[in-house]
A and B are shown apart, each in its own frame.
Chain A
């Protein structure tokens, strides 16, 4: 039936994970341009094509809520997919790159690391005949897609979308590099604030 069912299911799952804002950045001057809106709720509608029995399955869309917790920022997110079939990985790469472009995520390098072939040699016969063997090999092809400068909410949405559409027989490894400020307890040494304490250990 309709595309709506799939989309509703996907988005319903995504909406359950919270959308976060980045309030911490308000303190920095140069980030003054970045100003998150106040908490809003938006009733969200799908553009349904004119199909027949939509009404019975279409349920009301969840509202988007914005939370005060600051968003995690990722300098780089590397998605490495592994599979036995190169053409499947080609198609998946096309899908992932198009999805990233549509969602407005900046793409870094998209490249193909060299394949890895694992070979093993076993005896051909059940009993004796040591000189006659048979060799098998398992080829693993790789594809790496790097996303640069993404926020935590976007990464969650993108990764969930990508992972739900991962084909059979393909594995994925995601390497996330988050960036953080220097925490307050490392701003200055604690010995300055507490001169009465013993400086030198006994």
Chain B
């Protein structure tokens, strides 16, 4: 086009001559260049009425807004059946939104960008929600009546499996936390005897909580949730069956491995027997040691002392346990 060539020559002229024209001067140069070619062309559709100098098509009058034709008892679900932006001509509310400029009022709803930007819930009025739920109700099932209480639920369905799901906007649908599966079960609901229970607790370590008697298994090794769930169930099965087994080396369990304190064959018992023997020997002569031991252990004071020491070691030091121990010692030593 002649206009463009004129522009480029003008520019090159300025550059080669070393003239440094500012932006404004350049723009002026370009404008004068384009004006000289006069005719304006409209190749594509674009804006057909843009730049027309002569008579243009008459603008059509917009009708009255829909709000004026709305009866009071209309069905609002027909106006906003689904999520749609805010249409000021379709919402009959005198709502205003925006910062009050120059100590005025917030801007009116017509052409208000703030009202259009914010998500609206006009399609989710209580009437619409009720209609939707009435349509969805046949697809719902009821909770079984017998499982209303926690105890019943615990008795019949002791295992709890927890997993997460995520809904968010982003470039990726995936969320790595989805594959984590947490399995919780109370050991009291599993068929375990004493030895099996202690072994199970030792096998799982930190995953067992004593206060709530809950075993928690968290699996996230596998890439899919289903796989993690299968792995968790597999772990539970293996733990259960292994804890029922008694290995040969379990006979070497020492006092330090015991979970609870046993008074029999402990240092406390030896000390008590020693003390009582010495108390007796001062009064009597030599006797069969085995029979003496049995006799001493059979005494009610010794039994009481045994109870108090066991309680003290297992339950910890409280007022009650200390008092009980004191009483037992006093009776034992005839103080």
Nearest A residue to B196, CB-CB: A189
Q: What's the minimum C-beta distance from A28 to chain B, rounded to whole angstroms?
A: 6
User: Do B133 and A99 touch across chains, with their CB atoms under 8 A apart?
Assistant: yes
A125 contacts across to B, CB distance below 8 A: none
User: Do A173 and B160 touch across chains, with their CB atoms under 8 A apart?
Assistant: no
A185 contacts across to B, CB distance below 8 A: 237
Contact of A165 among B124, B143, B236 (CB under 8 A): B124
User: Do B146 and A28 touch across chains, with their CB atoms under 8 A apart?
Assistant: yes
Contact of B160 among A103, A153, A179, A186 (CB under 8 A): A179
The yes or no answer to B213 lying at the interface (CB within 8 A) is: no
B185 contacts across to A, CB distance below 8 A: 182
Question: Within the assembled complex, what's the spacing in Å between the Cα atoms of A196 and B70?
Answer: 85
Say yes or no: A91-B121 contact (C-beta < 8 A), given A3-B128, A99-B129, A178-B160: yes
Q: What's the minimum C-beta distance from B97 to chain A, rounded to whole angstroms?
A: 12
The yes or no answer to B291 lying at the interface (CB within 8 A) is: no
Contact of B119 among A42, A163, A167, A177 (CB under 8 A): A167
Digitize B199-231: 1 where CB-to-A-CB distance is under 8 Å, 0 elsewhere.
000000000000000000000000000000000
The yes or no answer to A1 lying at the interface (CB within 8 A) is: yes
Q: What's the minimum C-beta distance from A108 to chain B, rounded to whole angstroms?
A: 13
Q: What's the minimum C-beta distance from A169 to chain B, rounded to whole angstroms?
A: 7
B191 contacts across to A, CB distance below 8 A: 186-189
A71-99 residues with Cβ-Cβ distance < 8 A to B are 71, 73, 75, 85, 88, 91-92, 95, 98-99
Contact of A172 among B144, B152, B167 (CB under 8 A): B167
Say yes or no: A200-B248 contact (C-beta < 8 A), given A5-B81, A33-B145, A189-B240: yes
Q: What's the minimum C-beta distance from A15 to chain B, rounded to whole angstroms?
A: 7
Contact of B81 among A1, A21, A157 (CB under 8 A): A1
User: Do B139 and A64 touch across chains, with their CB atoms under 8 A apart?
Assistant: yes
Question: Within the assembled complex, what's the spacing in Å between the Cα atoms of A187 and B191?
Answer: 6
Q: What's the minimum C-beta distance from A25 to chain B, rounded to whole angstroms?
A: 5
B47-84 residues with Cβ-Cβ distance < 8 A to A are 75, 77-78, 81-83
Nearest A residue to B193, CB-CB: A189
Question: Within the assembled complex, what's the spacing in Å between the Cα atoms of A188 and B128?
Answer: 53
B146 contacts across to A, CB distance below 8 A: 25, 28, 30-34
Q: What's the minimum C-beta distance from A63 to chain B, rounded to whole angstroms?
A: 10
A43-77 residues with Cβ-Cβ distance < 8 A to B are 44, 46, 49, 51, 64, 71, 73, 75
Question: Within the assembled complex, what's the spacing in Å between the Cα atoms of A64 and B139?
Answer: 7
Nearest B residue to A192, CB-CB: B244
User: Do A11 and B141 touch across chains, with their CB atoms under 8 A apart?
Assistant: no
The yes or no answer to B25 lying at the interface (CB within 8 A) is: no
Question: Within the assembled complex, what's the spacing in Å between the Cα atoms of A11 and B136?
Answer: 7
User: Do B166 and A173 touch across chains, with their CB atoms under 8 A apart?
Assistant: yes
Contact of A102 among B133, B141, B158, B244 (CB under 8 A): B133
How many residue-residue contacts, CB under 8 A, span A and B? 202
The yes or no answer to B293 lying at the interface (CB within 8 A) is: no
Question: Within the assembled complex, what's the spacing in Å between the Cα atoms of A99 and B247?
Answer: 57
The yes or no answer to A113 lying at the interface (CB within 8 A) is: no
The yes or no answer to A123 lying at the interface (CB within 8 A) is: no
Contact of A7 among B131, B162, B246 (CB under 8 A): B131
Question: Within the assembled complex, what's the spacing in Å between the Cα atoms of A53 and B171?
Answer: 39
The yes or no answer to B280 lying at the interface (CB within 8 A) is: no
B118 contacts across to A, CB distance below 8 A: 85, 88
User: Do B144 and A11 touch across chains, with their CB atoms under 8 A apart?
Assistant: no
User: Do B162 and A177 touch across chains, with their CB atoms under 8 A apart?
Assistant: yes
The yes or no answer to B126 lying at the interface (CB within 8 A) is: yes
User: Do A71 and B148 touch across chains, with their CB atoms under 8 A apart?
Assistant: no
Question: Within the assembled complex, what's the spacing in Å between the Cα atoms of A39 and B82?
Answer: 34
The yes or no answer to A121 lying at the interface (CB within 8 A) is: no
User: Do B164 and A73 touch across chains, with their CB atoms under 8 A apart?
Assistant: no
B138 contacts across to A, CB distance below 8 A: 42, 44, 64
Q: What's the minimum C-beta distance from A43 to chain B, rounded to whole angstroms?
A: 11
Nearest A residue to B130, CB-CB: A102
The yes or no answer to B163 lying at the interface (CB within 8 A) is: yes
The yes or no answer to A14 lying at the interface (CB within 8 A) is: yes
Question: Within the assembled complex, what's the spacing in Å between the Cα atoms of A163 and B169?
Answer: 12
Say yes or no: A174-B156 contact (C-beta < 8 A), given A15-B139, A149-B143: no
The yes or no answer to B253 lying at the interface (CB within 8 A) is: no
In order of increasing CB-CB distance, the 6 nearest A-B pairs are A102-B133, A189-B244, A167-B119, A171-B168, A179-B157, A31-B146
**Can you list 14 A-B contacts with CB-CB less than 8 angstroms, sorted by A residue number?**
A2-B78, A3-B77, A3-B131, A31-B144, A71-B141, A98-B126, A103-B137, A151-B140, A153-B139, A171-B168, A175-B163, A188-B191, A189-B244, A200-B246
Name 19 extra pairs, CB < 8 A, besides A32-B146, A178-B160. A1-B78, A1-B81, A6-B123, A19-B139, A30-B152, A46-B135, A73-B143, A85-B118, A102-B133, A149-B147, A151-B143, A165-B83, A172-B168, A176-B164, A179-B153, A182-B189, A183-B237, A190-B241, A200-B246
